[in-house]
Amino acid sequence: MTSIKPFLLGPIVGAILAAVRAPSPRRAPRTCPEDRRSLFCRVVTSVTLALALGACSTRYLPAPRAPERVAPTGVVEASAPREGEGQITLDVVGGPARIDLVTERTQPASGTQVWAVRGRASFTAPGPQITTRPLCVSPCVANLPFGQHELSFTSTDDSSRRSSTGFVTVTPHPAVVRHAMGYQETHAGGVVTAVLLSAFGVAATLAGTALVAIDSQPQAHGLGVAGFTTLGVGAALVTSGIIVGVNSRPDSQPGTTVQWVPSPP
């Protein structure tokens, strides 16, 4: 049985408090009567919506352990750095990787999710958007202006989902940089299934709430059983959607970068 994750507790508590404290309109039509049944309807609907929205959030994994400080061998020497530039030797744990220099990073106001899409020039996403230019394929030596730079590392193995970014600092002293790539993984089929189950579940929950409200009116009786049955079906569908959504959440793991200046021979 899947337990409720800690990140879902906030939306659940907020939904319950909002349902309990929500003022009742005096003149507008009421979905549920102002009694225990009304409170139950609002709590069920609010918690259902909160869980359905929170189940598919990104799962952030811890970064891989820091690479050992071992300089790569057999690296082709680069040309001498120009004035105002420094030289860094770049290596990636686990095989060769394309290394791009991040030239621009923007954060859209509506961006909340990072979806990694491979591209030599740039990639855009509902979350952060970055623009890059190719630098080299690891292991390699590169010349960059003095200061801090963000690099993007993407595995050259097309079957691998490993891709992450890291920061390096360029100084007049030649340095060595090793990066352990993280990864971003999505489960589109599971997410679509979770959304459909949750959508039908929310619709059934709202329909059950309406039937329970109609049954509470003096002129209409006999719909209470159907209403609570529909609520139960909706809760079952939403629960199934939450389980599928939690197991299909996008995974995001950052990379780990180490940098050092080798001792002179």
Domain membership of residue 98 (yes or no) is yes
* Mean pLDDT, residues 33-61 taken together: 61
Confidence class of residue 246 from pLDDT cuts 50, 70 and 90?
confident
- For residue 168, give every residue at least 6 positions away whose Cβ sits within 8 Å of its Cβ, in sequence order, or none: 88, 144, 148, 149, 151, 175, 177, 257, 259
The residue ranking higher by pLDDT, 6 or 89, is: 89
Please identify, among 181, 203, 221, the residue that sits at the C-terminal boundary of a domain. 181
Query: Which amino acid, one-letter code, is at 52?
Result: A
Does 199 lie in the same domain as 176?
Answer: no
| 184-202: pLDDT as tens digits | 777 777 777 877 887 888 7
Tell me the C-alpha distance between 257 and 12, whole Å: 37
pLDDT at 36 over 60: no
Model confidence pLDDT, tens digit, residues 205-217: 778 777 777 766 6
Contacts with 34 (C-beta within 8 Å, 6 or more apart), sequence order? 24
Q: Among 21-30, 154-163, 215-224, name the one with the lowest average pLDDT.
A: 21-30
* pLDDT for 98: 94
User: Encoding tokens for residue 211?
Assistant: 């039937």
pLDDT (mean) for 220-247: 76
Q: Could you tell me if residue 15 is inside a domain?
A: no
pTM over 0.75: no
Q: Which residue type sits at 70?
A: V
Residue count of the chain, please give it. 265
Q: Which domain holds residue 101?
A: 65-181
Q: Are residues 33 and 74 in the same domain?
A: no
Measured in whole angstroms, the distance separating CA 31 from the mean position of its chain's CA atoms is 35
How many distinct structural domains can be found in the chain? 2
